[in-house]
Protein backbone atom coordinates (compact mmCIF):
# COMPACT_ATOMS: atom_id res chain seq x y z
CA UNK A 1 0.00 0.00 0.00
CA UNK A 2 1.31 3.38 -1.02
CA UNK A 3 1.24 5.93 1.81
CA UNK A 4 2.37 9.49 1.81
CA UNK A 5 4.62 10.16 4.72
CA UNK A 6 3.45 13.21 6.64
CA UNK A 7 5.65 15.41 8.75
CA UNK A 8 4.28 16.86 12.03
CA UNK A 9 3.66 20.18 10.28
CA UNK A 10 1.40 18.44 7.76
CA UNK A 11 3.88 19.07 4.95
CA UNK A 12 4.20 16.39 2.27
CA UNK A 13 7.65 15.06 1.53
CA UNK A 14 8.46 15.08 -2.20
CA UNK A 15 11.01 12.85 -3.91
CA UNK A 16 12.41 15.94 -5.66
CA UNK A 17 11.80 19.68 -5.35
CA UNK A 18 8.39 20.63 -6.79
CA UNK A 19 8.75 22.63 -10.02
CA UNK A 20 8.38 26.40 -9.67
CA UNK A 21 4.85 27.71 -10.17
CA UNK A 22 4.48 29.66 -13.42
CA UNK A 23 3.64 33.31 -12.75
CA UNK A 24 2.99 36.55 -14.63
CA UNK A 25 3.83 40.15 -13.70
CA UNK A 26 1.09 42.57 -12.63
CA UNK A 27 1.24 46.29 -13.42
CA UNK A 28 1.68 48.48 -10.36
CA UNK A 29 2.92 45.83 -7.92
CA UNK A 30 5.89 43.53 -7.38
CA UNK A 31 3.49 40.68 -6.50
CA UNK A 32 3.06 38.06 -9.24
CA UNK A 33 -0.06 36.35 -10.59
CA UNK A 34 0.30 32.56 -10.02
CA UNK A 35 -0.96 30.55 -13.00
CA UNK A 36 -3.20 27.52 -12.42
CA UNK A 37 -4.55 26.63 -15.88
CA UNK A 38 -4.61 28.11 -19.37
CA UNK A 39 -7.83 27.78 -21.35
CA UNK A 40 -8.02 29.08 -24.92
CA UNK A 41 -10.97 29.88 -27.18
CA UNK A 42 -10.84 28.81 -30.83
CA UNK A 43 -12.60 30.63 -33.69
CA UNK A 44 -13.96 33.54 -31.66
CA UNK A 45 -13.73 36.12 -34.48
CA UNK A 46 -15.78 35.53 -37.64
CA UNK A 47 -13.08 36.79 -40.03
CA UNK A 48 -10.46 34.49 -38.46
CA UNK A 49 -12.91 31.57 -38.58
CA UNK A 50 -13.21 32.23 -42.33
CA UNK A 51 -9.44 32.48 -42.89
CA UNK A 52 -9.09 29.09 -41.16
CA UNK A 53 -11.69 27.58 -43.47
CA UNK A 54 -14.30 27.22 -40.70
CA UNK A 55 -18.04 26.88 -41.03
CA UNK A 56 -19.91 30.17 -40.30
CA UNK A 57 -22.41 28.30 -38.14
CA UNK A 58 -19.74 26.65 -35.96
CA UNK A 59 -19.65 28.19 -32.46
CA UNK A 60 -16.33 28.94 -30.71
CA UNK A 61 -14.82 26.13 -28.63
CA UNK A 62 -12.11 25.52 -26.02
CA UNK A 63 -8.70 23.93 -25.93
CA UNK A 64 -5.90 24.32 -23.39
CA UNK A 65 -2.20 24.84 -22.88
CA UNK A 66 -0.14 23.69 -19.90
CA UNK A 67 0.38 26.38 -17.24
CA UNK A 68 4.14 26.30 -17.76
CA UNK A 69 3.71 27.42 -21.40
CA UNK A 70 3.57 31.05 -20.17
CA UNK A 71 6.53 33.30 -20.94
CA UNK A 72 6.89 36.86 -19.66
CA UNK A 73 7.31 39.96 -21.81
CA UNK A 74 10.64 40.67 -23.47
CA UNK A 75 11.57 37.03 -23.88
CA UNK A 76 13.76 35.56 -26.59
CA UNK A 77 11.77 32.49 -27.62
CA UNK A 78 13.66 29.77 -29.49
CA UNK A 79 11.94 28.68 -32.71
CA UNK A 80 10.13 25.52 -31.55
CA UNK A 81 11.02 22.02 -32.68
CA UNK A 82 8.97 19.88 -35.06
CA UNK A 83 7.44 22.71 -37.10
CA UNK A 84 8.18 24.68 -40.26
CA UNK A 85 5.12 26.94 -39.88
CA UNK A 86 5.05 28.73 -36.51
CA UNK A 87 2.16 31.25 -36.41
CA UNK A 88 1.28 34.25 -34.20
CA UNK A 89 -2.24 34.77 -32.80
CA UNK A 90 -2.64 37.93 -30.70
CA UNK A 91 -5.34 37.61 -28.03
CA UNK A 92 -6.91 39.39 -25.07
CA UNK A 93 -6.22 37.31 -21.97
CA UNK A 94 -8.60 37.36 -18.98
CA UNK A 95 -6.89 36.47 -15.68
CA UNK A 96 -9.24 35.14 -13.03
CA UNK A 97 -8.98 36.16 -9.38
CA UNK A 98 -11.78 33.84 -8.27
CA UNK A 99 -13.73 30.96 -9.75
CA UNK A 100 -16.79 28.78 -9.72
CA UNK A 101 -18.90 26.36 -11.74
CA UNK A 102 -22.03 27.14 -13.77
CA UNK A 103 -21.41 30.88 -13.49
CA UNK A 104 -24.14 33.08 -15.01
CA UNK A 105 -23.07 35.53 -17.73
CA UNK A 106 -24.15 38.48 -15.56
CA UNK A 107 -21.92 37.25 -12.70
CA UNK A 108 -18.92 36.28 -14.83
CA UNK A 109 -17.00 39.56 -15.01
CA UNK A 110 -16.75 39.63 -11.19
CA UNK A 111 -14.32 36.69 -11.50
CA UNK A 112 -11.84 38.71 -13.58
CA UNK A 113 -8.73 39.92 -11.74
CA UNK A 114 -7.33 41.69 -14.79
CA UNK A 115 -6.43 41.56 -18.47
CA UNK A 116 -3.25 41.13 -20.49
CA UNK A 117 -1.99 40.88 -24.05
CA UNK A 118 -1.09 37.32 -25.01
CA UNK A 119 0.04 35.51 -28.13
CA UNK A 120 -1.19 31.97 -28.78
CA UNK A 121 1.85 30.61 -30.63
CA UNK A 122 0.77 27.79 -32.92
CA UNK A 123 2.53 25.08 -34.91
CA UNK A 124 0.12 25.58 -37.82
CA UNK A 125 1.43 22.63 -39.83
CA UNK A 126 0.88 20.24 -36.91
CA UNK A 127 -2.57 21.75 -36.31
CA UNK A 128 -3.54 21.15 -39.94
CA UNK A 129 -2.32 17.56 -39.79
CA UNK A 130 -4.21 16.95 -36.53
CA UNK A 131 -7.42 18.44 -37.95
CA UNK A 132 -7.14 16.25 -41.05
CA UNK A 133 -6.79 13.11 -38.94
CA UNK A 134 -9.23 14.08 -36.18
CA UNK A 135 -6.38 14.02 -33.64
CA UNK A 136 -5.85 16.26 -30.57
CA UNK A 137 -4.23 19.70 -30.86
CA UNK A 138 -1.82 19.43 -27.94
CA UNK A 139 1.35 19.29 -30.02
CA UNK A 140 0.09 22.17 -32.20
CA UNK A 141 -0.96 24.45 -29.34
CA UNK A 142 0.39 23.31 -25.98
CA UNK A 143 4.13 23.23 -26.60
CA UNK A 144 6.88 24.77 -24.47
CA UNK A 145 6.86 28.60 -24.36
CA UNK A 146 3.75 28.78 -26.54
CA UNK A 147 2.03 31.46 -24.43
CA UNK A 148 4.03 34.72 -24.23
CA UNK A 149 2.14 37.33 -22.17
CA UNK A 150 2.50 40.94 -21.15
CA UNK A 151 1.91 42.15 -17.59
CA UNK A 152 -1.63 41.89 -16.23
CA UNK A 153 -3.50 45.18 -15.81
CA UNK A 154 -5.97 44.90 -12.92
CA UNK A 155 -9.57 45.18 -14.13
CA UNK A 156 -11.28 48.51 -13.72
CA UNK A 157 -14.98 48.50 -14.55
CA UNK A 158 -16.08 47.40 -18.00
CA UNK A 159 -13.90 44.93 -19.95
CA UNK A 160 -11.61 46.45 -22.60
CA UNK A 161 -13.29 47.08 -25.94
CA UNK A 162 -10.75 48.89 -28.11
CA UNK A 163 -8.29 47.75 -30.78
CA UNK A 164 -6.08 44.65 -30.66
CA UNK A 165 -2.94 44.77 -32.81
CA UNK A 166 0.18 42.80 -33.69
CA UNK A 167 3.17 43.79 -35.80
CA UNK A 168 6.16 41.75 -36.95
CA UNK A 169 9.37 43.77 -37.47
CA UNK A 170 7.18 46.88 -37.52
CA UNK A 171 4.81 45.64 -40.25
CA UNK A 172 1.10 45.35 -39.38
CA UNK A 173 -0.23 41.78 -39.34
CA UNK A 174 -3.32 41.85 -37.09
CA UNK A 175 -5.50 44.90 -36.31
CA UNK A 176 -9.09 44.42 -35.19
CA UNK A 177 -11.68 45.47 -32.64
CA UNK A 178 -12.30 43.48 -29.46
CA UNK A 179 -15.96 44.23 -30.20
CA UNK A 180 -15.74 41.71 -33.06
CA UNK A 181 -15.50 38.77 -30.65
CA UNK A 182 -18.34 36.25 -31.16
CA UNK A 183 -18.39 35.37 -27.42
CA UNK A 184 -17.49 38.34 -25.18
CA UNK A 185 -15.42 37.85 -22.01
CA UNK A 186 -18.45 37.30 -19.78
CA UNK A 187 -19.94 34.75 -22.17
CA UNK A 188 -16.61 32.91 -22.47
CA UNK A 189 -16.27 32.60 -18.68
CA UNK A 190 -19.87 31.41 -18.34
CA UNK A 191 -19.38 28.83 -21.10
CA UNK A 192 -16.06 27.61 -19.67
CA UNK A 193 -17.57 27.26 -16.19
CA UNK A 194 -20.04 24.70 -17.53
CA UNK A 195 -17.12 22.52 -18.61
CA UNK A 196 -14.62 23.09 -15.77
CA UNK A 197 -14.76 24.49 -12.23
CA UNK A 198 -12.82 27.71 -12.70
CA UNK A 199 -10.47 29.01 -10.00
CA UNK A 200 -8.17 31.88 -9.13
CA UNK A 201 -5.06 31.68 -11.28
CA UNK A 202 -6.85 30.55 -14.42
CA UNK A 203 -5.95 32.38 -17.64
CA UNK A 204 -8.33 32.47 -20.58
CA UNK A 205 -6.98 33.34 -24.04
CA UNK A 206 -10.10 34.72 -25.74
CA UNK A 207 -9.32 34.00 -29.39
CA UNK A 208 -7.53 35.80 -32.22
CA UNK A 209 -8.78 38.07 -34.99
CA UNK A 210 -7.88 37.67 -38.67
CA UNK A 211 -4.36 38.17 -39.98
CA UNK A 212 -2.54 35.26 -38.38
CA UNK A 213 0.69 34.39 -40.13
CA UNK A 214 4.15 32.85 -39.95
CA UNK A 215 7.11 33.81 -37.77
CA UNK A 216 10.75 33.07 -38.55
CA UNK A 217 13.97 33.27 -36.56
CA UNK A 218 14.98 36.86 -35.92
CA UNK A 219 11.43 38.24 -35.98
CA UNK A 220 10.52 40.89 -33.41
CA UNK A 221 6.85 40.68 -32.43
CA UNK A 222 5.06 43.66 -30.87
CA UNK A 223 1.45 43.31 -29.72
CA UNK A 224 -0.84 45.78 -27.97
CA UNK A 225 -4.42 46.15 -26.78
CA UNK A 226 -5.98 49.54 -26.00
CA UNK A 227 -6.40 50.12 -22.25
CA UNK A 228 -4.64 46.80 -21.46
CA UNK A 229 -0.96 47.07 -22.36
CA UNK A 230 1.58 45.61 -24.70
CA UNK A 231 3.94 42.70 -25.26
CA UNK A 232 7.22 42.37 -27.14
CA UNK A 233 9.22 39.22 -27.79
CA UNK A 234 11.65 37.86 -30.36
CA UNK A 235 12.03 34.51 -32.10
CA UNK A 236 15.60 33.24 -32.01
Binding-residue pattern over the window 149 to 188 for Mn ion, x denoting contact by CB under 5 A: ----------------------------------------
Interface region with Mn ion, contact rule CB under 5 A, candidates 26-34, 44-52, 57-65, 115-123: 115-123
For every residue of 136-195, which 3-state class applies, written as one string? CCHHHHCCCCCEEECCEEECCCCCCCCEEEEEECCEEEEEEEHHHECCCHHHHHHHHHHH
Q: Which of residues 48-77 bind Mn ion (CB under 5 A)?
A: none
CB 149 within 8 A of CB 233: no
Interface region with Mn ion, contact rule CB under 5 A, candidates 30-38, 88-96, 105-113, 128-136: 88-96
Q: Which residue is nearest to Mn ion (CB)?
A: 120
Q: How far is it, in rounded angstroms, from Cα 234 to Cα 223?
A: 12
Q: How far is it, in rounded angstroms, from Cα 40 to Cα 191?
A: 12
Give kind and range of the element (H or E) at residue 47.
Answer: helix 46-51
Q: How far is it, in rounded angstroms, from Cα 55 to Cα 87?
A: 21
Output the smallest distance, CB 223 to Mn ion, in A.
Answer: 13
- CB closer to Mn ion, 35 vs 204: 204
Q: How far is it, in rounded angstroms, from Cα 167 to Cα 225?
A: 12
Instruction: Report the chain's C-alpha Rg in angstroms.
Output: 18
- CB closer to Mn ion, 210 vs 227: 210
Task: Please tell me whether residue 208 binds Mn ion under the rule CB under 5 A.
Answer: yes
Task: Please tell me whether residue 44 binds Mn ion under the rule CB under 5 A.
Answer: no
3-class DSSP state of 206? coil
Output the smallest distance, CB 61 to Mn ion, in A.
Answer: 11
Residue of 77, 113, 120, 149 that binds Mn ion (CB under 5 A): 120
Task: Please tell me whether residue 89 binds Mn ion under the rule CB under 5 A.
Answer: yes
Output the smallest distance, CB 178 to Mn ion, in A.
Answer: 14
Q: How far is it, in rounded angstroms, from Cα 183 to Cα 199?
A: 20
Output the smallest distance, CB 43 to Mn ion, in A.
Answer: 9
Output the smallest distance, CB 7 to Mn ion, in A.
Answer: 43
Interface contacts to Mn ion, rule CB under 5 A: 89, 120, 208
Amino acid sequence: MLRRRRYPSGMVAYVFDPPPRPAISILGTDAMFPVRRILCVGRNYAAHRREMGGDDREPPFFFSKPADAVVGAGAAIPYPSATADLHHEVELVAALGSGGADVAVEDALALVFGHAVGVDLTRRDLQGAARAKGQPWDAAKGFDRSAPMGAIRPAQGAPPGGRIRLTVNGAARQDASLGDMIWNVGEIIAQASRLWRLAAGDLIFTGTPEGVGPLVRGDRVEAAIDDVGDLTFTIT
